Chain A
Amino acid sequence: AQTVTQSQPEMSVQEAETVTLSCTYDTSESDYYLFWYKQPPSRQMILVIRQEAYKQQNATENRFSVNFQKAAKSFSLKISDSQLGDAAMYFCAYRSIQGGSEKLVFGKGMKLTVNP
């Protein structure tokens, strides 16, 4: 079974600075999808960014970018120019392509605090 690990339970960053959230995963599959979701205090789950494992190019979405290292099974999220609204729980998630399993497997999450 696939597992997702977020080793840092909490991080803080100053407004306008850059922060990197780490995520590692374990899988024997060669093709899959990886996601970062954001959960603010409202507890809504908001998609931040998506990465297809077969793509070597790292995904970017405005101030959010990933560093995907397939061999190392690492999928970190970089937030540039941090804003107060970025404060939230961030979950890394894995989705299989093979075997018909559609579920998202989440890491335990990381709480990001943005200091003004």
Chain B
Amino acid sequence: AAGVIQSPRHLIKEKRETATLKCYPIPRHDTVYWYQQGPGQDPQFLISFYEKMQSDKGSIPDRFSAQQFSDYHSELNMSSLELGDSALYFCASSSPGQTQETQYFGPGTRLLVL
């Protein structure tokens, strides 16, 4: 079965640079979620989109922005990167209907800020 696709899988950036993470949800899934997992931490919710509109917002820094496109893929844009942004960034998706509460995670993008 098709899963959530994230690209790139690994990313190395310098401080103050910009990064763009991409997420392609499972086909026919219309909701996308972004989470950040620091080393040894649990995933923290950043933001979510439903039908291209922001549906929920968590502890996302103002330096970060995200959007969902007409094909339901989503991008997380991160500017003025800081050392503390080094983390594993997950995208998850869910489907409309009966199992919409279940979020299926992608493999994550490992971001290292030097």
Contact = CB atoms under 8 A, between A and B. Distances in A.
Dominant SS among interface residues on chain B: strand
Contacts of B94: 102
B90 interface: yes
Contact of B42 (A43, A47, A107): A107
Interface residues of B, number: 25
Nearest to A46: B105
A33 interface: yes
Interface string A42-76: 11111100101000000000000000000000000
Contacts of B31: 102
Interface residues of A, number: 24
A91 interface: yes
Interface of A: 33, 35, 37, 42-47, 50, 52, 91, 95, 97, 100-109
Given A43-B108, A97-B101, A100-B56, 16 more contacts: A44-B105, A44-B108, A45-B43, A45-B90, A46-B105, A47-B104, A95-B101, A100-B55, A102-B33, A102-B94, A103-B45, A103-B56, A104-B33, A104-B43, A104-B103, A106-B44
